[in-house]
Amino acid sequence: MKKLTFLGAAGTVTGSNFLLEKEGAGSVLIDMGMFQGLSNAVELNSRPLNFNPREVTAVILTHAHLDHCGRLPLLVKNGYAGNIYATEATKVLTELVLLDAAKIAKEDPKVPVLYDESDVSALLARMVTVDYHQNFKAGPFEASLCDAGHILGSASCQIVDAGDVESEKVVFSGDLGNSPEDIVKPTESFENVDVVVMESTYGGRVHPNDKPAETLAEEINEVEKTGSVLLIPSFSLERAQVLLHLLDHLKADQKIRNDTQVFLDSPMAVRATNIYKLFKGLYNKKLALHASNNDPFDFAGLHLVEDYRKSKKIANMPGAKVIIAGSGMMTGGRILQHAKKYLPHANNRLLIVGYMGEGTTGRKILEGSKKVDIEGTEVEVNANVSEISSLSAHADEPRLIDWLKEMGSFKKIYLVHGEDEARGKLRQKIRNDLQFDYVVLPIVDQAVTI
């Protein structure tokens, strides 16, 4: 008998964290991410763990986004002494993400200090890399990973009882990609599973069949006419690299001016881009062919801005500018300083290129707010606001349904990593299209027997 406890991302899009226990034999923890963008995120991230890390036998990390890996150092800090399994790319990116999180907490008095660099180092020492499709022992279970097609190194995970081929197959989707994507390979799936723990971020939604490169070019052309600014809040992993790749093509094809300056104003995005260049074997076929002759993330007029003092000098640069900065949901980071300066002016533009969590500054602007609070300052939003939905790294509802269909069969589905409205719509879609009724919307800390 096994017990599955939903410790996070149950009714929210962030805080991914699940504990699968085999009675009397041990347990495996899947992800342990930060809660982000919620009014009670600080409380959720700081609350005492409601399980004993010393009793966890193994950990599997699906990918390196902060909402999946961000609280893992707390596990080791509280006595966990086992292995943490992930792909090699995920391990390298996780080091970058967690050290950045520790640095921000150390420097920003508004961010609670949950761990420091030494805790991150202790965590990294416990990480063991595995390849896609490689079977490995994880406590009382045997596990394998397949490519989730979300970001570099991302994985879905299948878990079975070790040594028992007849045991239930439990699959954790992780975050599923919006295949086909510009950088990574297509999303894979497992076959004939029993229990599916599945993300539902875009339940009830269909990504528009637009052409992001054309929209990006149009936005840049508009600021080129007036010598103004295009702001793009961006996640540092995958989204920033996709934007650079699109801009590389736009410059090469002369769809935007060669002298238009582009600033990647994010130390983590700059470092992540350098890591992406190390894992060309994970590129999809089209990008791999392009990368064999050119750097797909570099072009004329690109400025990689790591130093904060140089970030502040961007405003002094003449002419039209594109500023790509974190954070992706406009909840922190350098994008906020740029937003304060540029959003009040009608000639400037804001381009939303990713998911904006409920209650975030980005969501409020996207929903039409003309005034937003940014770090205690009321900022007018007079800039033109537009959106590219098809750049999302998450599967939309049709892709989620297709992923389920590819698995052939299943007995239970638990929808996680989505707001309740999205989960409810996806559940109804599964019932309608797949004629399958056992779809559960768990809540945080709920435990079920499987």
Q: Are residues 40 and 131 in the same domain?
A: yes
Q: Do 270 and 216 have their domain in common?
A: yes
Check whether residue 83 and residue 191 sit in a common domain. yes
Coil, strand or helix at 219: helix
The predicted pLDDT at position 423 comes to 98
- The CATH number that applies at residue 337 is 3.40.50.10890
Distance CA 428, CA 249 (A): 40
Residues 275 and 367 in one domain: yes
Q: Which residues contact 306 (CB under 8 A, 6 or more apart)?
A: 267, 270, 271
Q: Please indicate, yes or no, whether residues 380 and 269 belong to a single structural domain of this protein.
A: yes
What pLDDT does residue 110 have?
Answer: 80
- 223 & 367 share domain: yes
Alpha helices in 292-342 (DSSP H): 308-312, 335-342
- Show the domain range for 306: 212-387
In a shared domain, residues 363 and 242: yes
Q: Contact 392/207 with Cβ under 8 angstroms? A: yes
* Same domain flag for 381 and 270: yes
Single-letter amino acid code for the residue at 175: D
Q: Which amino acid is at 63?
A: H
The answer on 334 and 405 residing in a single domain is no
Are residues 230 and 243 in contact, defined by beta-carbon separation less than 8 angstroms? no
**Is the predicted pLDDT of residue 290 greater than 90, yes or no?**
no
Beta bridge partners of residue 60, listed in sequence order: 30, 85
Q: pTM for the complete prediction? A: 0.92
Q: What is the pLDDT of residues 176-222, one digit of tens each?
A: 999 999 999 999 999 999 999 999 999 999 988 878 999 999 999 99
The letter for the amino acid at 219 is E
Q: What is the CATH number of the domain that holds 44?
A: 3.60.15.10
- Decide if pLDDT at 165 tops 80: no
Query: What is the count of structural domains for the chain?
Result: 2
pLDDT digits (tens, 9 = 90+) for 10-28: 999 999 999 999 999 999 9
Q: Are residues 198 and 255 both part of a single domain?
A: no
Nearest residue to 302 via CA among 337, 256, 236, 335: 256
**Range 208-211, long-range pairs (CB < 8 A, 24+ positions):** 208/389, 208/390, 209/390, 210/388, 210/389, 210/390
- What pLDDT, in 10s, does the model give residues 57-66? 999 999 999 9
Please report, for the chain, how many H helices and E strands are present, in that order: 14, 22
The mean pLDDT value of the chain amounts to 95
Q: Which two tokens stand for residue 121?
A: 């180092």
Give the domain-ending residue among 338, 365, 387. 387
Residue 118 has which token pair? Answer: 């030494």
**pLDDT the model gives residue 331:** 87
State whether 149 and 285 are in the same domain: no
Mind listing the pLDDT tens digit for each residue in 235-255? 999 999 999 999 999 999 999
Nearest to 100 by CA among 202, 278, 250, 237: 237
**Do residue 377 and residue 397 come from a single domain?**
no
Instruction: Please report, rounded to a whole number, the percentage of residues in the chain having pLDDT higher than 70.
Output: 100
pLDDT of 163 > 90? The answer is no
Q: What is the pLDDT of residues 391-408, one digit of tens each?
A: 888 999 999 999 999 998
Last residue of a domain, one of 361, 387, 413: 387
Q: What pLDDT shows up at residue 356?
A: 87
> Cα dihedral sign for 68, 74, 78, 80?
positive
